[in-house]
Structure 1
Amino acid sequence: MKYIQLNNGNKIPSIGFGTYKATEQEGIESVKQALQNGYRLLDSAAKYENEEAVGLGIKESGIPRQEIFVTTKVWRENLGYEPTKKAVEESLKKLQLDYIDLYLIHWPANFKNFGNDWKKVNAETWRAMEELQHEGKLKSIGVSNFWIEHLEALLETAKVMPAINQIEFHPGYWQPELKDYCNAKNILTEAWSPLARGQVFSNELLQNIAQNHQKSISQVCLRWCLQHQVIPIPKSTTLERIKDNIDVFNFELTPEEMEQINQIPAMGFSGELPNEWPDRVPVS
């Protein structure tokens, strides 16, 4: 496993294991298998309702806690100063951990749902996270699904620069302007849905590139993320795919292949936008 240094000096594994929809016994087993097959970054969230399963998977894996980088997130219904502090305590209890390696605001408060208070709600949420980081309960703090406008508003009052912005990032929808903005601020980008909700598998270009490298399409997409200095977080509950998704450090895409993938037309977009949630934009 290769590691990347965050803007606060902490190090994060360069590829993660997503746990969305991995609940109960299936979640426990998938986390255990991921850790036993080399993953060290786990990505969960309060909204996934699987923090208990993730915690049990960690315990059953036999991997020392200090080797594991655990991420979880505060959901939109718990934004604000006191609700965030309570949410962190609940996550710690469910995960059975003394600290969380990375804690994210899952979605920003926005004008549609919070009116003119949206900036204040994000700022108060962040203030709570800064205090919890100072106390040692959170090692790093960041955001998820923040656009430039949300980041700029947050930075008006933030004392700590976000370490991470986790966004939808995959061939066919990779938000290059947002990524470049984060790079300029030394905020690392993470990719959720790096396989475009499965739509990458029918793309002819990706099929050809995968064949050229004798790799799977999944591996090509994850490698593309890595070469963009973006941390992909693939998810699977199938052992074969869990193993396949981490086997991405023994080949490299050419600059031409990177640009070809960059130019793939719109594909696989979730329809989830930070200024629209909880509604979705219709997508094909």
Structure 2
Amino acid sequence: MIVLTQIEDVRAHLRAERLAAAKEGKELQVGFVPTMGYLHDGHASLLRSARMDNDLVVLSIFVNPIQFGPNEDLDRYPRDRDKDMALAKREGVDIVFLPTVEEMYPEPTKTKVLVSELTDHLCGATRPGHFDGVTTVVSKLLHIVVPNRAYFGQKDAQQLAVITQMVKDLNMDLEIIPCPIVREEDGLALSSRNVYLSPEERQAALVLSRSLRQAEQLARQSEGATAEDIFQELVRTIETERAAQIDYAEIRRFPSLAPVSGSLPVKEIEGKILIAIAVKFGATRLIDNVILTMEGDK
């Protein structure tokens, strides 16, 4: 495993690897996992998928300042380089790209990549400018690495939908690979921000997965349950936990993120629906979701 901090060094190394493969009559398959570090088993699952699918795996670690709002947690976002390097090595990463802010943004950027409509709601509604920062940095990273496949976790389902749309709209020559949410044994979705939780908040946060399980059960088992019924069940369950402050709870089609009519029985829906929540526990905001494949009224 090698660690590179300069954009040109990453490009040069990958050019050399691709040339060496071409001389052997092969096309080098490159898998890419972009992260903000403080890696956990959720990130490890992305790296394992990339390792299985590709000849060479690139991991980037970069806490991207332009996706944080003025009152968000950029300065205190958790960082642990030694732990990150150990996990990357354990998972067979070939290249770790570890740029500085100055390397990625040597001067204030005058160009941004904006994905409309998909970013207007859910996290986009309460974090203005967040997804503009995400799509801009991911676009930059994809142009630096030029992977065959890039791996994103389903836990941030809106981000997954937005990145997939960006790649499609801009005719980027790669495949976006969605990967399942990884959870603790008690159901809490793994997140770098879980470290912020006090023991009491950590226990309270279990209401997230519990509310989603109950919403999913209602959607699958109740013949006439509407989207509004599922929404009400979701909110009712979350509100049983006094420490929980709901930011949003929504049901949308996936990956279009189009709204679902509240009066529509969910069993009549064809395709996928996203049940997504964002909830604060103290100062810590956590997201979680479930994506259901519905078969329509057959």
Both structures adopt the same fold (TM-score exceeding 0.5)? no
**TM-score normalised by structure 2 residue count:** 0.29
Greater percentage in helix: 1
**TM-score normalised by structure 1 residue count:** 0.30
Q: Pick the structure with greater CA Rg.
A: 2
Greater percentage in strand: 2
